[in-house]
Amino acid sequence: MTLDQQLKHTGTLVNYYFVCKRKLWLFAHQINFETESDTVALGRLLSEISYDRQKKEIKIDEMISIDWIDFRNKVIHEVKKSDKLEEAHLWQVKYYLYFLESKGVQGFRAEINYPKFHKRELIELIDSDREYLKEVIKEIEEILPRDEIPEKVRIPACRSCSYFEFCWV
């Protein structure tokens, strides 16, 4: 089984891989509580209402969903709520670039936008990233088909995670 054949939204999976392996597994098994979470709803709303002159949510092969693409400058954009440049956000975006390359789309860069803070972060994909992402995808593919749910680990992100009650009840 490869990600390509099995799953949509692999960008989210790459993101969750860096946040929490358990969340990754649960999400991939369609166990999620995000419709119940105010934080998630807020993030979605922010992404919808900011930069509204851009064409939004470009889905490619039903695999990734890019917030918008600036074709003239060859930049893909991702909108995030918190301005902490989290590892998870960074690799999610790098994965988009990597995925596009695999489809033969070369020379793109990425920008993470933080509308609440009027800030942005430019991101490029380098050779060592490509190697690393290959590893990451291999590991994700190894985790998902497991029958057991990965053990819960208390991390700072638990506090605002939509899975908090599920994990810790």
Partner 1 sequence: MEKPFYIFSNGRIRRKDNTVFFEYGDSNDESQEEKESKPANRRAVPVETIDSIYLFGEVDLNNKVINFLGQNHIPIHFFNYYGYYTGTFYPREYAVSGHILVKQVSHYVDPGLRFAIAQEIIQSSNHNILKNLKYYERRYGDLSGFISHIENKNREMGSSRSIEELMGFEGQIHKRYFEAWNKILKSETFLFDKRTRMPPDNPINALISFGNSMVYATALSEIYKTQLNPAISYLHQPSTKRFSLSLDLAEIFKPLLVDRLIFSMINHNQIRENHFESNLEFCYLNEKGRRTFTEQFDEKLKTTVKHPSLKRNVSYRQLIKLECYKLVKHILGEEEFKGFRMWW
What gap in Å lies between CA 87 and CA 169, rounded to an integer?
28
Q: CB of 38: closest distance to partner 1 in angstroms?
A: 9
Site string for partner 1, 29-68 (x = CB under 8 A): xxxxx-xx--------------------------------
Site string for partner 1, 119-148 (x = CB under 8 A): ----------------------------xx
Region of 24-32, 64-72, 83-91, 111-119 interacting with partner 1 (CB under 8 A)? 24-32
Specify the 3-state DSSP secondary structure of 89.
helix
- Of 53, 31, 29, 49, nearest in space to 41 by CA: 49
User: Of 55 and 159, which CB lies nearer to partner 1 in the complex structure?
Assistant: 159
Question: What separation, in Å, do the N-terminal and C-terminal C-alpha atoms of the chain show?
Answer: 33
CA-based R_g, the chain, Å:
16
